[in-house]
A and B are shown apart, each in its own frame.
Chain A
Amino acid sequence: MASSSSNLISLKTSDGTVFKVERALAKTMKTVQAIIEEADANIYMIPIHNVFSHHMDMIIDYYKLSVAGKSKEFSVEKLDNDELKDFLLAVHYLNMEDLFEVLTQAVADRLEKKSVGYVRKYFGIENDFTPEEYAAIRKKNDWAFKGDDIEPEEDEEKQEE
């Protein structure tokens, strides 16, 4: 079996693992596809920066499920927040439309119902509102801060720094 079989593409992850994937899967990665089209026909190995082998494992899982018409069964529940963000960055880099849609929705689902303080921590964002500015906006739309079993904002504000 020749190593340059035209049905398989070799992808090398950041941690040095080589994955041989079907051309059809490589096609879902627009970044990889662009590299293939630009390079000569006999490209040997494509390095994919920012993508680790554990990302490729999940990408291959998703691909197998979608080929079988079961993409809804794909779940990222077991990933913690940082792992999910990391995976999203990898899929974003590879420019994979469907999986990107799945992951951005997964992050959105995790943010739903959370407090403002939680969201700031999640993205590492600093609050640049003065307490007065915050209070004014909050007062105008108070209903949006209620419910969801949290009494968030006051406590979160006190806990930060």
Chain B
Amino acid sequence: MEKKTTPYLPSELITEILLRLPVKYLIRFKTVCKSWFTLISNPNFANSNFQLAATQTRRVLSISAIPRQIRSIDFQALLNNHSASPNPNLSIPIPHFYLQIRGSCRGFIFLNCAIYNLIWNPSTGFCKKLPLSDVNYNFANTRYLYGFGYDQSKDDYLLVSLSYNDSRVGDHSSHLQIFSIRDNTWKQIEDPPSRYKSDYNFSKVGLFFNGAIHWFLYRRYSSVNVIVAFDLMERKLLEMLLPDAFIPYLADLDLWVFGEFLSLCAIRNGIVEIWVMREYKVHSSWTKTLVFPIGAVPYFSPIYSTKNGDIIGTIGGTGLVKYNGQGRLLGHCSYCEDPRGSQVIMYTESLLSLPDDNKQV
């Protein structure tokens, strides 16, 4: 059957095909023609593309300090030795202050550069400056924890800042502030009843999961380790206790998402213990899922689990490791030459734009 002309596909078919492409290629194919540029730039298209879970690609953002280098790493390809996949250096149009990563959500990264906050979508290049919270930064002993998440009920993104006074005397209340993208302002949330503090080895960046931001904290005076979750829809704080059978003493603790579940990863004396909360908020559903030796791997932090249950983690922001569901090491690689390591966070590629927003830096 000889065909002289190639079959012509109507535009609704082309849209259906494009919706199933990963973000990187959608950005590339914006240059195919003007109508594709318009289609791919359309926020509705971005939303539909994001909802198609099959196309969601995750990357690791790595920021090293001096010299400042921002890299986006295709960690799955790197671990599978697909060296053809590039890990490009990205740039943000802001001055060379120290950049601090404070969260990631739906393709956006929450960054701080000393004099202002930023929301940045590394895939589209969109970047927006946001004000700092007006909590008084002059107290030398004030400590901060951060979070970034999405309130589905309002189609709004929230920056969250939890602060407390670390000195031995004085007011030990914890203070919670949120910044809503839609309201474009910082708001104080009623002080939580408990007094919390963090520890040097707890992550300062909260985990966004199930519509809430989660941190590890101590309840002061009782020295009990808890997971504190700030629900972005209810705008309320709640506590979740660690598993009864778990002993936090001297362990490095991490929160992450294992499959579909909130998971606790504890490392002590070279042994990794992974617990999973099979039913969110249900204390009795904590289940010890995996225990395996990690040896001398420093600063292991799990970030992602694959469909087969493999566990991928960063090591001190200089490299990545992959273990299978039984704890056997499958591979490792390094992506950062700076021995001081880098700040890392995992993000999902998206074409999404912020609600009601056209302003950029």
A interface, CB within 8 angstroms of B: 81-82, 85-86, 88-89, 92, 100, 104-105, 107-108, 111-114, 116, 119-120, 122-129, 134, 137-138, 140-149
Q: How many A-B residue pairs have CB under 8 A?
A: 93
In the A-B complex, list the 10 residue pairs whose CB atoms are closest, starting with the nearest: A143-B88, A147-B86, A108-B20, A144-B27, A85-B7, A144-B28, A104-B16, A146-B86, A107-B17, A141-B27
The docked-state distance in angstroms from the alpha carbon of A92 to that of B350 is 28
Given A112-B25, A119-B29, A148-B84, is A124 in contact with B34 using a C-beta cutoff of 8 Å? no
Which of B17, B28, B34, B90 meets A104, CB within 8 Å? B17
- Give the A-binding residues of B (Cβ under 8 A): 3, 5-9, 13-14, 16-22, 24-25, 27-34, 36-37, 54, 72, 84-86, 88, 90, 124-125
Which residues of B are found within 8 Å of A112, using beta-carbon distances?
Answer: 21-22, 25
> By the criterion CB–CB under 8 Å, are B33 and A105 in contact?
no
Docked Cα-Cα span, A141 to B36, in Å, equals 16
Bound complex: CA of A122 vs CA of B28, how far in Å? 15
Residue pair A92, B31 in contact (C-beta under 8 Å): no
A145–B28 alpha-carbon span in the complex (Å): 6
Query: Please, how many angstroms separate the alpha-carbon atoms of A120 and B18 in the complex?
Result: 13
Residue of A whose beta carbon sits closest to that of B37:
A137
* In-complex Cβ contact of A127 among B13, B33, B88 (8 A): B33
Is A111 a contact partner of B32 (Cβ separation < 8 A)?
A: no
Task: Give the interface SS of chain A, mostly helix, strand, loop or mixed.
Answer: helix
Instruction: Return chain B residues, CB-CB under 8 Å to A89.
Output: 7, 9, 13
Q: Which residues from B are CB-within-8-Å of A122?
A: 6
Closest-by-CB residue of A relative to B3 is A82
Residues of chain B lying within 8 A (CB to CB) of residue A127 = 32-33
Report chain B residues within 8 Å CB of A126.
Answer: 33
B-side contacts of A140, CB under 8 Å = 125
Contact A137 B13 (CB under 8 A): no
Q: How far is the CA of A89 from the CA of B8 in the complex (A)?
A: 9
Is A146 in contact with B27, judged by CB distance below 8 angstroms?
no
The contact sample of 20 A-B pairs, CB cut-off 8 A, is A82-B3, A82-B6, A89-B13, A92-B13, A104-B17, A104-B19, A112-B25, A114-B25, A120-B33, A122-B6, A123-B9, A128-B33, A128-B34, A129-B34, A137-B30, A146-B86, A147-B84, A147-B85, A148-B84, A149-B84
Minimum C-beta distance from B75 to chain A (A): 14
Closest beta carbon of chain A to B126's beta carbon, Å: 11
Q: Assuming A89-B9, A114-B25, what are 6 further A-B pairs, CB within 8 angstroms?
A: A85-B6, A112-B22, A123-B6, A141-B27, A143-B24, A143-B86
Does B20 lie within 8 Å of A88, measured CB to CB? no
Q: Which residue of B lies closest to A153 (CB)?
A: B31
C-alpha gap A92/B17 in the complex (Å): 12
- B21/A119 in contact, CB under 8 A: no
Chain A residue numbers with a CB within 8 Å of B125 are 140-141
What residues of A have a CB within 8 angstroms of the CB of B85 in the complex? 147-148
A82 to B8, CA, bound (A): 10
Given the interface contacts A105-B20, A108-B17, does A134 sit within 8 Å of B7 by beta carbon? no
